[in-house]
Amino acid sequence: MSEAIFGQVVTAMVTPFDVNGRVDPHAAAQLVTYLLDNGSDGIVVSGTTGESPTLTHEEKLNLFRLVKETAGPRGKVIAGTGGNDTASSIALTRKAAEIGVDGALLVVPYYNKPSQEGLYRHFRAIAESVPELPCMLYNVPPRTSQNMEAATTSRLAHDVPNIVAVKEASGNLMQCAEIFRTAPADFALYSGDDGMTLPMLSVGGVGVVSVTAHLVGNDIKAMHTAFFSHRLEEAARLNAKMLPLVRACFQPTTPSPAPVKAALNLLGHNVGGLRLPLVECNEKERDVVRTALVEYGLL
């Protein structure tokens, strides 16, 4: 098994906002501490769950700095610096590296739909601009409209030394297995979909970049421990127990992170609302979240 370079359980952290829709640094620092106290080995800052499309570069850099200072040596901090403009992504990634983050998360470019060769050149250019910073690729076709094929991921992993991991949210286990088969032995395959984490571990995954770890990080960590200790039935039971929460956090009528923010607010972690064009859960969607929390024993 390849090393989980960023840890097994990495939480894709929400960005807390105050009542005026501004980033709330105090709430962010509190959330970082809570996550590291409850199962998280690392934190992704300004990823999809952190509402990266509506954060300015200045807000992102301030968050990178705050989270890194708060986490200290307790957990890895991975900065979401990728976008669909290569030059802009390079500039942001270089600034994040100067702050001292532990890694960069580079999403497949959205909207402009580059070819596989375009994806290769895009990611290579960003990673080579920060040769000392480990980079995690992020393949999420439902949000980007473009799938990065296993051959492209593997090619990047072989050709660019600091491309060390991929967050795979394609939902395609055969593609994930192909990455594991063809990438270097030390290349780390992470699940980018909470509901697919256990199956992905079975085809070579080392961990998860998780949304529901905001709520049940310790149980997600316990599932990994059970799996890698060959206690497969225990891992399966833990996975099954968490599925209703996963469904509540990924409802078909409202995109993440609206449900997990609703859950955190219900649990007393005041992370605020969302920035348009995302909107908060309606009452029916919030009831789904509340019911899942109550049934799990969290509320």
Output the six-digit token pair for 115. Answer: 């070819």
Instruction: Write the CA distances from 135 to 103, 140, 196, 262, integer angstroms.
Output: 6, 16, 22, 31
Cα–Cα distance between 147 and 178 in angstroms, integer? Answer: 14
Q: Residue 56 in 3-state DSSP?
A: coil
Active-site residues, by number, are: 138, 167
**Residue 67 near residue 28, CB atoms below 8 Å:** yes
Phi and psi torsions of 160, nearest 5°: -120, 110
Alpha-carbon radius of gyration of the chain: 18
Beta strands in 147-234, from DSSP E residues, in sequence order: 163-168, 188-191, 207-210
**Residue 108 near residue 138, CB atoms below 8 Å:** yes
Cα–Cα distance between 260 and 4 in angstroms, integer? Answer: 25
Tell me how crowded residue 205 is: count the other CB atoms within 10 A of its CB. 28
Q: Which of 244, 245, 243, 238 is nearest to 224 (CA)?
A: 238
Q: Tokens 């007393």 label which residue?
A: 268
Q: Residue 148 in 3-state DSSP?
A: coil
Cα–Cα distance between 278 and 212 in angstroms, integer? Answer: 19
Tell me how crowded residue 3 is: count the other CB atoms within 10 A of its CB. 12
Cα–Cα distance between 268 and 107 in angstroms, integer? Answer: 31
